[in-house]
Structure 1
């Protein structure tokens, strides 16, 4: 699956060149001798600018792209005058580029242009329905340096003192300003000792003894326990779209392989090719976004 996803991303990236089609009104923006540079060529040059130009103002990017296009025309003219376009190596490269661009055109026509919002939403709903339920807790904590301090705070809690107020007064954790509130978190987001204690508590209860971690001593209170909500559609729709397009892309490849036999003559290359082209397993659920979760205490 990793390979297929990389293939899809590569195909998408290649469309940066392909997708800038010739304009119906395609004015000449510059001339190099008898050669003309049209707006469509400038658009292509801009689409292929090095990433280092990404943060530049639009006007500067256009100038950089035009400069590059002029350089290309200048040396391309020299190359033609020397007959390099008839060089066998050049012809081989151009044949490869042609095949690659035809691949990209086919990909755009039958994958990119056919993938609808309705398909993406349906795939999202399917993946969400298949996700296993996962518990998450909403907890607060008070972090202090010594066990004696923690035990003294627990006594104050036992006497009826407010947890959030005590957190603001005593905690050394940045969450103290929010009354020790860590928000909701699932298993795997906190250090093991803290996590074990938090998930063992019932809503409204706190640890009766200090919990020691590498950060110090904690008193933990659980406010709520619930099933973790799935990632919101708007947060993952781009990732889900990639899944839909990946499956369409793989289906196109598999169909093509039924009509065109792939025969690899080199044994080592065949072994490597077969290893990365095993029958594809069912797609994994759409990953949740790296949403900011409660910091480790």
Structure 2
């Protein structure tokens, strides 16, 4: 069982590398996104978000770095972790620049790793082509029906927040809000995370998308409610205002089809790889180079009662 689980994990990793990762939770949220006054930016809109010694970092670079993180990080609203993602890209560019100045691109170690990377890209390209040949609408529809059955609609909250470093700051903000101050304006002035540019708006989210303390506080409130005391999390102290509550709307098949490819692709990839293995001569040895121990025999089926 352990070997089978590990093999499946490796197939998932290879398929994800070939096709890219996706979040069905985010798609479910987008299926019933509110109509904003301003039109959402188009995919072609890719502004520069930083410059490092003249080299541009664009928004698409930030989103690409998010895709490389684990599923838990991808569930957070982008605005909340944007500053950390951007700083990571800035630091990466600084280190790369220093490495090129030191001519490390010509070193034997780097050339070896480039060859290894080439091999990975060839693997991914071949696997992607094989998956595309075997992908069908029927397989996608079966995966969709299975996903819908396993994911009944959840409750969602739309909230704004103001994140600050200390409880004293948060208490002062709550006092101002109770005195009639505008929440969005204060978020822009006092907030310390990426949502400050959007009035603290986190959009709609389900409970398990947020850290426990924040989620419990937000889901216990009613639309229009303001948190009476600061909510402490690993990020700092939050002042929360709940804007709306609703039942999550699941995506239609047409909306989900592009994302369902990832799940179906994993099944196809495992089938393809097993086919390659059956037609190949594969010899495996123990970690010390000696013979591999024989696999344990499957337990005998219990005798039928007469």
TM range (shorter): 0.3 to 0.5
Q: With the length of structure 2 as denominator, give the TM-score of the two structures.
A: 0.45
Q: With the length of structure 1 as denominator, give the TM-score of the two structures.
A: 0.46
Higher relative contact order (CA 8 A, sep 6+): 2
Larger Rg: 1
